[in-house]
A and B are shown apart, each in its own frame.
Chain A
Amino acid sequence: MIAELGHYALMLALGLALIQGTMPIVGTQTNDPVLMSMAAPTALAQFAFVAMAFAALAICYVISDFSVLNVFENSNSQMPFIYRLTSIWGNHEGSMMLWVSILTFFGALVAVFGNNLPAVLKANALAVQAWIAAAFHLFILMTSNPFVRIPQAPFEGQDLNPILQDPGLAFHPPLLYLGYVGFSIAFSFAIAALLEGRIDAAWARWVRPWVLGAWMCLTVGIAGGSYWAYYTLGWGGFWFWDPVENASLMPWLAGTAQLHSAVVMEKRGALKIWTVLLAILTFSLSLIGTFLVRSGVLTSVHTFANDPMRGVFILAILVVFIGGALAFYGWRAPLLKQGGLFAPISREGALVFNNLFLTTACASVFIGTLYPLALEALTGAKISVGPPFFNATFGPLFIPLMVVMPFGPLMGWKRGDLFGAAQRLLAAAMFAALTMAAAFAIEQGGPVLAPLGAGVAVFVMAGAVTDIAERTLVLRLPFRAALQRAIGLPRSAWGTAFAHFGLGITLLGIVAATAWGSERIAEMKVGDNLDIAHYRLTFAGLFGRQGPNYHDMVGRFILHRMNGDLIGVMEPSRRNFPSRNMTTTQAALMTRGVSQLYLSLGDPMQNGNVAVRLYFKPQVLLIWLGAAVMFAGGALSLSDRRLRVGAPQPAKMKAALRPAE
């Protein structure tokens, strides 16, 4: 009964989406305010029904209703509660439900918080949002219905894919989808602006918070996925240039570019048409990401099912939305008024530089990811484009971007002073040079590029600090006065500094963990020692352990410092899931500061020995810590008064509400 209710609610949501997609547009074309005002209530109602459908599916999972095929295939009554809940989106149908839930949730947010938007823009944007929703509702109902029943309900479910039975499943997909789908708002606003044939700086101010929010979620979503892959795959890699990873990186790169171009548009009224194009491209890349991951053209743990019908349907959605949007852009964009021009050496110029390199880097990832697919479709030849390709293209494009990054915030709008900025960055540059020299000196036989990378990372971080120091005049004014200035700085300035600093942290982590880490692979018998960096690992023995729905074969290892100090016990295991008779590797991690020791068990051997892989990953946690700092930067920027779209608050009231500020 609950499943049928969910199915019915989803059909109603489709109906509402169709109304929301047509009536407001008719309203804006005929200048009928009543039809236009239909957009917001239908968006809310649509969200309510989708939420109802999602809740129905959730209930089926929680009560383990195995008469629902989707629950039977992906859940098991023995699974811990949290995994019964997360397995809702640990499969194709459920993850599409999550997709539309978030999509309609964003639509509802626009309906609620868009009170001060011009009526025409709001109506058009919500209508475009409804087209996307309608396409995906249709997709779910026609090809991926999660509410299908089995005539005779089995007693027990087939269990969730063991690789997905991990806390990561609770965070990674929802955050990633919040990012992907969040970009749909900018897309809808862009199409709405094209429909209306009018765009101004205020447009950028309305759209930027949405892009920023989506970007923040995508940043931590990608980082979370990377950490999950790192600890779960058993060989300590954190980024594989796997197509499914690239699928999430491309919208991130385009979204980052959009975030920066929207600043230029908001402040200076320039780059309007480019920003609109980026809004279309970013969401298009999100759609392509969904297609790559879900359609079965790639094989990965993310590919839940290979039904050709689904692939064709998603491909149709892609063609209609991306092709349609770009064609519409080509037709209508010339109608938009051109923005002003500016000197190449200026804040705008720096942001254009940023956009140029980000989009080019994005294009190189795009080509590297899709070329093998295109080649196979056209000639049948199977090739793999792996890390060497991306390191040789993405790297050289990204490093100049990082080098120029600290200059941007130090330059003035309209006409910047490159020499002045360089002077102010002198301390940062010297700091970076020192880092490079130290890295060269300490490094024994590591890659030559590594100290360079570390230097660039430090330059970016020191540059962000310089930016704040220059704004607060901390070195020139008495401390109290500088503190006053620091408090008075717009939070978006802090946000910029944090986000840039975070990127530097991440780069430093990547460089250190890849270039200066070490690896030991060995066969160990009880009592054997294995040395890595300045640590010694001793194998103490194997034992079994029973979990709720799995059995662990645990290896116990004692970790000492070389001088004999005990650090702790590491217990990696091989986890067997009887319901699917599958084994996964559970690595053991020992965190030392921001570095980690990483131990995973290999094949069990007949003679009782174990094969182990031991890695020392220096500064590896910085990679994900940097993403967290970027998120914090985004959050700071989002809390900036300028971006709060609500009615402007009088300064007095604000001061009264926040005495601490």
Chain B
Amino acid sequence: MTRKQRRLVLIGSGMAVLAVAVALMLNAFRNSIVFFNSPSDVVEKHVPAGTRIRLGGLVKSGSVVRGSNLSVRFEVTDGKNGIPVNYQGVLPDLFREGQGVVAEGALDPGGTFKADSILAKHDETYMPKEVADALKRAGHWKDDYGRQAGASAGGGGK
């Protein structure tokens, strides 16, 4: 092969790999992105049942009901709207009434959010950033949320 041909092979294979990678990424972006929504977003945007989303807000005080076999029901609220959530499993250490939570899952046709994971993701003030932003937008943010939460929340995030 001549110098030129060799260079062509090199550039050509590079382009091919890049093209494959771009195709993979576009495909993955179409299928695996999950949007974050506050309860108000869910109500206002009419998020259809069955679409995977992340729901974030505060666990409404007094709403947590534990059932049998580790099932739990609670309401996620941003002060304006609330969405009932069903979850089965062990809750993360930081899960407390009145504190921030992010649940991943989908709405069922009845309007209940079926969560398959409750995220233990938080910063050192124990308020997920997305939740803090959503609360600020809904006008229910208090500056001492983080502090209060820090006083009683658990760890376990990454």
Identify the A interface with B (CB < 8 A). Answer: 161-163, 229, 233-234, 240, 242, 244, 296, 299-301, 303-306, 341-344, 352-353, 356-357, 360-361, 363-364, 367-368, 371, 381-386, 388-389, 392-393, 396-397, 521-523, 574, 580-585, 600, 602-603, 605, 611-613
Task: Look across to chain A and name the residue whose beta carbon is closest to the beta carbon of B157.
Answer: A301
Is there contact, CB below 8 Å, between A392 and B28?
yes
Is there contact, CB below 8 Å, between A244 and B158?
yes
Does residue B10 face the partner (Cβ distance < 8 Å to A)? yes
Shortest Cβ gap from B19 to chain A (Å)? 10
Is there contact, CB below 8 Å, between A386 and B21?
no
Task: Select A611's contact among B35, B70, B150, beta carbons within 8 Å.
Answer: B70
Q: In whole angstroms, what is the CA distance A617 to B156 when docked?
A: 20
Task: Look across to chain B and name the residue whose beta carbon is closest to the beta carbon of A395.
Answer: B24
Q: In whole angstroms, what is the CA distance A244 to B157 when docked?
A: 12
Q: Report if A521-B158 is in contact (Cβ < 8 Å); known contacts: A299-B128, A388-B32.
A: no
Q: In whole angstroms, what is the CA distance A382 to B45 when docked?
A: 14
Does residue B155 face the partner (Cβ distance < 8 Å to A)? yes
Shortest Cβ gap from A360 to chain B (Å)? 5
Q: Given the complex, which residues of A lie within 8 Å of B156, measured CB to CB?
A: 163, 233-234, 584-585
Does residue B141 face the partner (Cβ distance < 8 Å to A)? no
Is there contact, CB below 8 Å, between B36 and A582?
no
Q: Report if A602-B17 is in contact (Cβ < 8 Å); known contacts: A388-B28, A581-B152, A583-B154.
A: no
Is there contact, CB below 8 Å, between B155 and A393?
no
B18-62: CB near A (< 8 Å → 1, else 0) gives: 101100110111011111100000000000000000100000000
Is there contact, CB below 8 Å, between A304 and B154?
no
Q: Given the complex, which residues of A lie within 8 Å of B18, measured CB to CB?
A: 360
Interface size class of B (residues with CB under 8 A): 35 or more
Is there contact, CB below 8 Å, between A581 and B130?
no
Is there contact, CB below 8 Å, between A301 and B90?
no
Shortest Cβ gap from A386 to chain B (Å)? 7
Shortest Cβ gap from A613 to chain B (Å)? 5
Q: Given the complex, which residues of A lie within 8 Å of B154, measured CB to CB?
A: 582-584
Q: Report if A385-B17 is in contact (Cβ < 8 Å); known contacts: A367-B25, A582-B155.
A: no
Q: Given the complex, which residues of B lie within 8 Å of A360, measured CB to CB?
A: 17-18, 21
Q: In whole angstroms, what is the CA distance A163 to B153 when docked?
A: 12
Does residue B73 face the partner (Cβ distance < 8 Å to A)? no
Q: In whole angstroms, what is the CA distance A611 to B67 when docked?
A: 13
Task: Select B35's contact among A299, A381, A584, beta carbons within 8 Å.
Answer: A381
- Besides A361-B21, A389-B25, A523-B70, 8 new A-B residue pairs in contact (Cβ under 8 A), listed by A number: A233-B158, A301-B124, A303-B123, A353-B13, A386-B32, A584-B155, A600-B90, A612-B90
Is there contact, CB below 8 Å, between A300 and B121?
yes
Shortest Cβ gap from B114 to chain A (Å)? 16
Q: Given the complex, which residues of B lie within 8 Å of A602, measured CB to CB?
A: 70, 90-91
Q: Given the complex, which residues of A lie within 8 Å of B24, measured CB to CB?
A: 364, 392-393, 396-397
